[in-house]
Amino acid sequence: MRIARASPRGRVTACQWRRLGAASLFLLFAAGCGKQARVSGRVLLDGTPLPGGRVTFLCDGGRRPALSSPIREDGGYAIEGPPLGLARVSVETFKPQPKPETGFDPQTGIDNSIGWEDTGPYVPIPARYGSPKTSGLECTIGPGGQNFDITLTK
């Protein structure tokens, strides 16, 4: 990369200013790309770990993709790589569904095994926690790793 030098009259030219500005923006962008965020914690229902379900983070007012994590049997979860800023959070639990037979069903034309997942033991929670709009749960995400325990009440 060439360093901007003064023109023969002692001034930096407009083209040199543009190059310097572009290089500065590139360096700022590259420095920001290295920031990784990770949010993890436990989901508790009336003080007891919730043994299954899903936690979803709706980031940046919904202008970014939602990120979700299954809830482990110990109530733990982890969201990798969320954007920095405010996230609305929802928690869902699911009634157990039998695992479909794997393979292609010629009658429906669907592979029955796609989309099925084990969501852990079912524990009913209030419906308000199932939507980021009504849950009342919010997390401000900063750079690096952070703990965000989610406490639900019946």
pLDDT band of 9, cuts 50, 70, 90: low
**pLDDT above 60 (res 5):** no
Same domain, 26 and 50: no
Confidence category of residue 111, pLDDT binned at 50, 70, 90 = low
Q: Are 93 and 135 part of one and the same domain?
A: yes
103 Cβ contact partners less than 8 Å away, ≥ 6 residues apart: 111, 112, 113
Number of Cβ atoms within 10 Å of the Cβ of 57: 25
The CATH number for 59's domain is: 2.60.40.10
pLDDT in tens, 45-95: 999 999 999 999 998 777 778 999 999 999 999 999 999 999 999 999 988
Residue 33: pLDDT band with limits 50, 70, 90: very low
Domain that holds residue 15: 1-34
Distance between CA atoms of 53 and 42, rounded to whole angstroms?
12
Q: Please indicate, yes or no, whether residues 91 and 26 belong to a single structural domain of this protein.
A: no
- Range 106-124 burial, b when 16+ CB lie within 10 A, else e: eeeeeeeeeeeeebbeeee
The candidate with the shortest Cα–Cα distance to 70, out of 90, 85, 56, is 56
> From CA 103, how far away is CA 115, in angstroms rounded?
12
Convert the pLDDT of each residue in 117-143 to its tens digit. Answer: 666 788 999 999 999 999 999 999 999
Same-domain status, 7 and 51: no
Same domain, 50 and 125: yes
Taking residue 44's Cβ as centre, other Cβ atoms within 10 Å add up to 15
Residues 75 and 147 in one domain: yes
Residues 90 and 47 in one domain: yes
Same domain (yes/no): 134, 108: yes
What pLDDT score does 121 carry? 81
Shared domain for 24 and 96, answered yes or no, is no
Check whether residue 10 and residue 79 sit in a common domain.
no
Rounded to whole angstroms, how far apart are CA atoms 128 and 150? 14
Say whether both 19 and 41 belong to one domain.
no
Provide the pairing of β-strand 54-59 with 85-92.
Answer: antiparallel
Arithmetic mean of pLDDT, 95-123: 68
The whole model's pTM is what?
0.66
Task: Report how many domains make up the chain.
Answer: 2
**CA-to-CA distance for 136 and 55, rounded, in angstroms?**
14
